[in-house]
Structure 1
Amino acid sequence: MKLAEALDDRASFRRFCGFAANEATPERTAFVRFRRLLVAHALDRTLFETVTMQLKAKAVTVKTGTLVDATIIAYASEDDVDARWVKHKGKRAVHGFKAHVGADADTALVEEVSITSANINDGKAGPDALPDNPGEVFADSAYRGNYFRDAVRVRTKGGIPRIVATGMWGRDEAETLRKLHEWNQPIHRVRGRIEKIFGTWKRCYGLRRMRWRGLAKAAVQVHLTAIAYNLKRTMNILSVSA
């Protein structure tokens, strides 16, 4: 396991994990047992929420909005009974899971995460990715419909849905297209920030594929990735404001 190797090799990792220079570090099997305990007691979400709450307190900002979106994460083995196939127009079919994410629109800190099979509709799972008091909620057209809109307005106590529209009614085509563009353009500009989060997860944190079998273990992998990302993101925010 790379973490065990890094603890033996890098002083920065040892300091972060609280090991003295001459102290023995756990073997690979210790981390495997730790992961199993996280799964068995469903503590990965609690760990994510606790760390994120502490980080948000450090990176103090005024809450103005929330980005909501989902990303598909493939699983190498097709015999995972919890994974599912999904096919989007113009793209190849993928077998795996989906991470539904709610992130702060200003700091890009991930606030909520929900993990499902890949075939679950974004709009149906989207409410589970909404934090409390989300402000304006920016989402793409997959979140159209009353189910998600009602969750934004009611469950989060007054959130404001800002969802990409695919069409508008109007008698004059040119005028209607202009209004559609005016509605969608500012949403696209803000909502696009969440794509950078997914890109960082997959490019820098190894989340292009799920490494562990089953939905519960997939949730652990995503939650641990979100924690690592939030730690790094908070360090960047604090370094800029210092």
Structure 2
Amino acid sequence: MQSSFSELEYAAKKRVTRRDRFLAEIEAVTPWLSLTNVIAPHYPSGGGPGRPPVGLERILRMYVAQQCFGLSDEATEDALYDSQAIRRFVGIDLNREAAPDATTLLKFRHLLEAHQLTESIFNAINAHLAEKGLLLREGTIVDATLIAAPPSTKNKKGKRDAEMHQSKKGNQWHFGMKAHIGVDAQSGLVHTLVGTAANVHDVTQAQALLHGDETDVFGDAGYQGVEKREENLELPVTWHVAMRPSKRKALDKSAVGELMEKLEHAKASIRAKVEHPFHVVKNLFRHRKARYKGLAKNTAQLFALFGFANLVLARRWLCIADGQVAP
């Protein structure tokens, strides 16, 4: 198809923006065929009456852009009209066609939620990464982060989300949910995800975050006593849990104390990798607050977010593996 004048003008511009570079990286590393194959059995074929559905890859690309830029359905539709970079990524030429609207994206999101397809997308991405040798699976780091939810009661029912709860972190109370993740200790990529209310203690989800092939598991001080829990007694793993901060501060300057301090420092350096996917989801994708009501919808979104976060974290390795120039 012949390019429009606006596309040619955009392609000829001298400066490549950060959004251009980011979308080009996502374009290059996403296993589009694998993701469309996962969704295709559930996507309408358009054989009946009414308006034919938007092409699967096109609406999937619109959904990916929405997650990577932290946009609502309406804001994603607006972005297609405002940003040539996003239009180019999705494959829309406004001179020939209208952009898919917010309702179309909403229906696609509901389709993903109804068939647990965001988890399938997450698994398909990880299968792709495993084929490239990026998930080594010998060690796992477990951790959790709070995702805030709107605490306001200024709505029709006059109530907060019943599935969200309060949790105290330090001296501050937070209302929302938790994203519990299991991360490959070598690559720092997320292999397991569980969403719960914020008041669920981290240690109760530790076993659910293991894939079963690891020999060592690392966790912060919130996982103290994890090896004594009934569900973990028979697990063939070694738990490496951080010492409580108060106990670590009390270490003396003896040879034993210095050795224990070095051991804690070594464990902390390994655990640091778990912060990378949290950084991508919260800072790069701007997902700091639950967008929807209920745990199911928000957990479904988290599977998509952490799946795409894995691609962002692995993009340099993937480009090298595919013989491309790493960004």
Q: Give the shorter-chain TM-score range.
A: 0.7 to 0.9
Correspondent of 1:71 among 125, 145, 164: 145
> C-alpha deviations, 1:15-57, integer Å up to 9, x for none?
655x464455421111111222223333322221122212332
1:84 aligns with 2:165: yes
The residue aligned with 1:191 is: 271
TM alignment of 1:1-242, pairs within 5 A: 1-8=74-81, 13=86, 17=90, 19=91, 21=93, 22=96, 24-60=98-134, 62-78=136-152, 79-90=160-171, 92-146=172-226, 154-155=234-235, 158-166=236-244, 174-239=254-319, 242=323
Which structure is higher in strand share? 1
Q: Give the gaps of 5 or more residues in structure 1.
A: none
Secondary structure in structure 2 of the residue aligned to 1:209: coil
Structure 1 length-normalised TM: 0.83
- Aligned-pair RMSD on alpha carbons? 2.8
**What fraction of aligned residue pairs are identical, expressed as a percent?**
28
For 1:87, the aligned partner's letter is: K
Report if aligned partners of 2:277, 2:306 keep a CA contact under 8 Å in 1: no
Aligned length: 235
Secondary structure in structure 1 of the residue aligned to 2:206: helix
* CA separation of 1:159 and 1:194: change in aligned 2, threshold 3 A: same
Report if aligned partners of 1:69, 1:101 keep a CA contact under 8 Å in 2: yes
Offset at 1:233?
2.0
Structure 2 length-normalised TM: 0.63
Secondary structure in structure 1 of the residue aligned to 2:309: helix
* CA separation of 1:154 and 1:177: change in aligned 2, threshold 3 A: same
Offset at 1:226?
0.8
Equivalent-residue separation in structure 2 for 1:12 and 1:149 (angstroms): 51
Offset at 1:163?
1.4
Equivalent-residue separation in structure 1 for 2:208 and 2:226 (angstroms): 15
> C-alpha deviations, 1:149-196, integer Å up to 9, x for none?
7766745xx33322113359xxx9835533431331111011012123
Q: Give the gaps of 5 or more residues in structure 2.
A: 1-73, 153-159
Q: Which has the larger radius of gyration?
A: 2
Secondary structure in structure 1 of the residue aligned to 2:175: strand
Q: Structure 1: which 4+ aligned runs deviate by more than 6 Å? A: none
